[in-house]
A = this chain, B = another copy of it.
Amino acid sequence: MAKIRIKDIAEQAGVSVGTVDRVLHNRGEVAEETKTKILEIAKANNYQPNLIARALTSKKRCVFASLLPSPTEEDVFWQSPLDGINNATLELEQFQLKVENFFFEHYDKSDFIKKTEKILELQPEGVIFPPIYKNESKEFATKLEKLGIPFVFLESKIETCNYLAYVGSDGYHGGRVAANLIDFGVADNDDILVLNLAKDLENIHHLKQRTQGFLDYFMDYGKNQGSKITMEIPSTNSMEIQEKLDSILSSNNNIKAIFVTGSKVYKIAQYLIKNQIKNISLIGFDPIDQNIKYLNQGAINFLIGQHPYQQGFKSVKTLFEHVLLNHDIVKDEILPADIITKESYQLNKA
């Protein structure tokens, strides 16, 4: 079946292309009868608009909004998703797509709320954001839903929200991968410390899932038989960390590996170096600058990445495919864990 054009539909329906266009874009001002007829013909022939032609002619740009924590000197974590978003935007620019990036100060809820309001003012045709603050994100999501604006979660998701898609990692999977690595590196009777290190408890859910995956791996088929000691340090203050670690390591001198369930693993690396502890393997998440530093020094053995660039890139693509192309999309796009060592990182940077 050859491709059908607006013109063909118009001919078959005995109307002009203008009328067909009005129906296809729901611009109203069309008799119910002709509308039905046109829609039928379009459907019967599986009409697909020619995007090239549309892009060439259309004046109005489709605008999406993204809302991310601003990448700062100290915390470059959000730079990669941003790069991904920008590059996807670049690719889709020819299709008249534009993405406006909004930023909020990390750890500042009121700023987050302020920026969501700005976005609502803009009335974009789609929104991309990581639901870092649960309640505030929920409210934002509700407002978007009311306005009929689809939104994509990245990095984490809130199940109860009516999100269009989620692009991110699976915490449980990440935990299992970490376990797999540590299991390879420690002796069968070594003990392992699992550390939930987080200032706020916002992302505690994610950390818990990683812990679960980690522990489950050993239940399933880890060869290591040592104790798995789980500990929480609700602070990133170096002094507090020092105290807690001093205490646990002195009472368990067989701990030979530490699994940090989040990206603050560099804090532990600092501790190990300061105290000249060299026989403990260390593994954590995210190749942010602080972590890379200790990866290169050998204090961190592995980092598990979550393809942050891809998260940004695919968020835009997904939204585009839904809004502009009306394609069916994958609701949960789970990206695999990326295992990073000192050596592999050398080329992984790019």
Contacts and interface: CB of A to CB of B under 8 A. Distances in A.
Contacts of A334: 347
A298 interface: yes
Interface residues of A, number: 37
Contacts of A180: 341-344
**What's the number of copies of this chain in the assembled complex?**
2
Nearest to A348: B336
A173 B347 CA distance: 8
Contact of A184 (B170, B184, B336, B347): B184
A180 B337 CA distance: 18
Contacts of A302: 184
Nearest to A94: B52
Contacts of A17: none
Contacts of A346: 173, 176, 336
Interface string A28-54: 000000000000000000000011110
A274 B73 CA distance: 54
Nearest to A335: B347
Interface of A: 50-53, 55-56, 94, 170, 173, 176-177, 179-181, 184-185, 217, 221, 281, 298, 301-302, 334-344, 346-348, 350
